[in-house]
Amino acid sequence: MKYSEKILSIFFVFLISMMFVKSMVNILKFVDEIKNQPHKIIIEVCPTKSEEYFNKFEDRGYLFALYRYKSMGEKCKE
Contacts of 70 (CB under 8 A, 6+ apart): 41, 42, 43, 44, 46
Q: In angstroms, rounded to a whole number, what is the distance separating the alpha carbons of residues 66 and 62? A: 6
Pick 43 or 78: Cβ nearer another protein: 43
Q: In the complex, what is the shortest distance from the CB of residue 76 to another protein, in angstroms, rounded to a whole number? A: 17
Q: Which residues bind another protein (CB under 8 A)?
A: 4-5, 7-9, 11-12, 14-16, 18-20, 22-23, 26-27, 29-30, 33-34, 37-41, 43, 55, 57, 59-60, 63-64, 67, 71
